[in-house]
Structure 1
Amino acid sequence: MKTNDNDPFKDSAITTILVVSDILKSKDFYVDVLGAKIFREYGGDSLVLEFLGNWILLVTPGGPTEDKPEIHFAVTANTNIVSHSYTIRVKDCKRSYQILKERGADFITPPFIRGAESRCFFRDPDGHLFEISEFRG
């Protein structure tokens, strides 16, 4: 996409906000298991991470504010209903699975092979869904 002075996102980056129940438990998972880098911490209730060239902001549950007067940030009540997930394209799904499992990732299943793709899913401590996927094309 060509940028110009009318581009509202010129020189911008996107951040995903994830609501977590325990900031320290989530910090351990994202840093120690996934290898994310801490960019900034805010007073013990939020944390900015850099992960695979993207920003993730972990926040604890909270109620409305002046700029979002009817919005509540809450941990998902049912981790089997997904409205948001991450897919990480990897070079070797089986190897990535083994490394992440050794680091403590809790996988739903081992890698499945579907044609030219191998994939498997795991969750963070609050149930946010991650997929690792290898495409052999």
Structure 2
Amino acid sequence: MSDAFPAEGMALTHILVVSDLAKSVAFYRDVLGADLYREYGGTSAVFTFAGAWLLLVTGGGPTSDKPNVTFASPDTPDRVSHAMTIRVPDCHAAYAVLRDRGAAFLTPPVDHGAEIRAFFRDPDGHLFEVSEARPA
């Protein structure tokens, strides 16, 4: 047995708990542009996006491998425990494309000097950022 961790062949998947799988699948596929890899029995869907894996799951209670843990979608969109940043070459262009596809941004892109960024949410309130880094 090898003690190499991480090891070749591993991949990180980010799990997002959603309340309505069909609505979320449509958002991630049609708005974000993620590739649907597989769906499982109406309770989960796997996407690939920009070299990452996203697993959308419906909520649920504890199981034998995660006792005392309940999966639930965000209860309020204004309280965030995590967000995902999508680094883009042109924030204004990404904003325009995503907005035209139906993404609801909190504000238009804001220039912070070292970066330009804009935030939007998925149907359950998971926060995403498109960010353009500027050369120092």
The one-character-per-residue Cα deviations of 1:83-113 (angstroms, maximum 9, x if unpaired) are: 1100011011111100000000000000000
Residue aligned with 1:107, SS: coil
The one-character-per-residue Cα deviations of 1:23-73 (angstroms, maximum 9, x if unpaired) are: 010000000011111111100110011011011100001001111111000
1:9 offset after TM fit, Å?
2.5
1:117 offset after TM fit, Å?
1.2
Check if 1:53 corresponds to 2:51. Answer: yes
Hey, which bits of structure 1, 4+ residues long, moved more than 2 A?
none
- The answer for the alignment partner of 2:41 in structure 1 is 43
What is the CA RMSD across the aligned residues, in angstroms? 0.8
Structure 2: where are the runs of 5+ without partners? Answer: none
Match for 2:115 among 114, 117, 126?
117
Question: TM-score of the superposition, structure 2-length normalised?
Answer: 0.95
CA–CA distance in 2 between the matches of 1:85 and 1:34?
15
- The answer for the alignment partner of 1:16 in structure 2 is 14
Percent of residue pairs identical: 57
CA–CA distance in 2 between the matches of 1:9 and 1:49?
22
1:116 offset after TM fit, Å?
2.8
- The answer for the alignment partner of 2:130 in structure 1 is 132
Structure 1: where are the runs of 5+ without partners? Answer: none
- The answer for the alignment partner of 1:106 in structure 2 is 104
Match for 1:7 among 4, 8, 17?
4
Match for 1:63 among 56, 61, 64?
61
CA–CA distance in 1 between the matches of 2:133 and 2:11?
27
Residue aligned with 2:86, SS: strand
Aligned residues: 133
Question: TM-score of the superposition, structure 1-length normalised?
Answer: 0.94
- The answer for the alignment partner of 2:28 in structure 1 is 30
Residue aligned with 2:131, SS: strand
